Amino acid sequence: MEPAIIITRGDPWFEDGNIILVPREESEPSEPDDSKSNPVGFRVHRGVYSDAVLVLYIFIESSCCRNHCQGMFEIPQPDAIYDNEVSRIRRVSGFIHALYDGATFNNRNVDDFFYLAGILRLSTKYFITHLRSQAIKYLTRTWSYDLQGHDTMLDLAVRTPILSYSPSPEAPPSGLSYPYIHPMHVLNLARSTNVRIVIPSAMYFLSLYPLDDLIRGDHPKLQVTHPSKPSSALQSPDLVHYTLMFQKRIDGGRTSPPACMNKNGKTCTRNFQRLRARLGTQWVVRTGPFNFIAQAITQVNQDPESFCGVCGQEFASDAGKYREKFWAELPGLCGLPGWDIMKEEELT
């Protein structure tokens, strides 16, 4: 007779459910271990899973669940679902709730990202397309595919207070800026789940960090701890893309157009050169080129004494077009197709 397992009730546990999911590490022995506590199971409805995903349906159809005392279920050990991704009870609980009620994503702290990471991994592994699409769309709200989303994220980063975080009770707290997570983790999560549309944005922000900082891996955002944390290491194939992105910089040369209203363009041209020199002294590795260009446009527009209306308008137009062109080139620097192709593949 097959050995029975006493299941500890997890959340959710539906009394009218007809299947119990028991997450377990693949490395765990198949024979019961009396030294360990009873495994946690989730009593759910067969139809929810058979409708949601073929992989789980195969597991469910091969399971042999029978009523046990006090409403528990008896699950033969060989038929339990083995999955190192669902070994963390908290992630499984969140995943099951998401299947029933849909996922609710936020960006209030580090744990919100890791919750999304767990949902994205599991929905990818088990082909649950609606949850995967929901997670990807939420990721693009921060790691955007267009300049408007990029600018919105930067504005939030400036206005959002620093979050105090400590990886352990013994460690001193560190300040994490919005969006609280390191782009390295976003990049590696995207690679592991085959999500391409957030890679250019993540790689762009990653390029704002010097390579030696990334190699040391001592940034507070890389020191966060969580079972769902992606790798904190820059993978070899991405090193090439990081280098190309890092080298992308602004062309500083500019002269006034023929229509300049200030003495044949000499005054405006001279002031553009001064602006270039001043901005050049402010440029550091951590200065994002897109934000840097936007700041230059603002400075020209707010200085009518140094730049005539014609030069100011033409500079704003040319700089705006440069931002758009630069943004359109980001996927190519990462070895990816254009934004429109990735939007069609992953967001529709």
3 — pLDDT class (breaks 50, 70, 90)? low
pLDDT of res. 344: 96
Query: In a 10 Å sphere around its CB, with 0-12 CB exposed, 13-18 middle and 19+ buried, how is residue 126 labelled?
Result: buried
pLDDT of res. 243: 80
pLDDT of res. 264: 60
Contacts (Cβ under 8 Å, ≥6 apart) of 271: 303, 306, 307
Which position has the higher pLDDT, 242 or 59?
A: 242
pLDDT of res. 130: 87
Please give the angle made by the CA atoms of 192, 197 and 199, to the nearest 5 degrees: 60
pLDDT of res. 259: 82
CA dist 169 and 320 (Å) reads: 47
Contacts (Cβ under 8 Å, ≥6 apart) of 236: none
Average pLDDT over residues 325-335: 93
pLDDT of res. 47: 60
CA dist 136 and 345 (Å) reads: 11
Contacts (Cβ under 8 Å, ≥6 apart) of 129: 123
204 — pLDDT class (breaks 50, 70, 90)? very high
DSSP class of residue 21? Answer: E
Please give the angle made by the CA atoms of 96, 117 and 50, to the nearest 5 degrees: 30
Q: Which residue, chain included where needed, has tokens 């105090």?
A: 164
Q: What is the token pair recorded at 146? A: 């267009």
Compute CA 8 distance to the chain's CA centroid, rounded to the nearest angstrom. Answer: 33
Taking the complete model, does pTM exceed 0.85, yes or no?
Answer: no
Instruction: Find the distance separating the first CA and the last CA of the chain, reported in whole Å.
Output: 50
Average pLDDT over residues 198-202: 97
Domain coordinates of the chain in residue numbers? 8-86, 103-247, 263-332
**pLDDT per residue as tens digits for the range 240-289:** 888 877 765 544 556 677 888 876 657 888 888 888 788 777 766 566 78
Q: Using DSSP, state whether 122 is helix, strand or coil.
A: helix
Average pLDDT over residues 201-227: 89
Question: Above 60 in pLDDT, residue 40?
Answer: yes
CA dist 144 and 317 (Å) reads: 23
Query: In a 10 Å sphere around its CB, with 0-12 CB exposed, 13-18 middle and 19+ buried, how is residue 132 labelled?
Result: buried
What residues are paired with 40 via a beta bridge? 8
Task: Work out the percent of the chain whose per-residue pLDDT is above 90.
Answer: 30
Contacts (Cβ under 8 Å, ≥6 apart) of 297: 315, 316, 319, 320
Q: Using DSSP, state whether 164 is helix, strand or coil.
A: strand
When the pLDDT of each residue in the chain is averaged and rounded to a whole number, the result is 78
CA dist 223 and 231 (Å) reads: 11
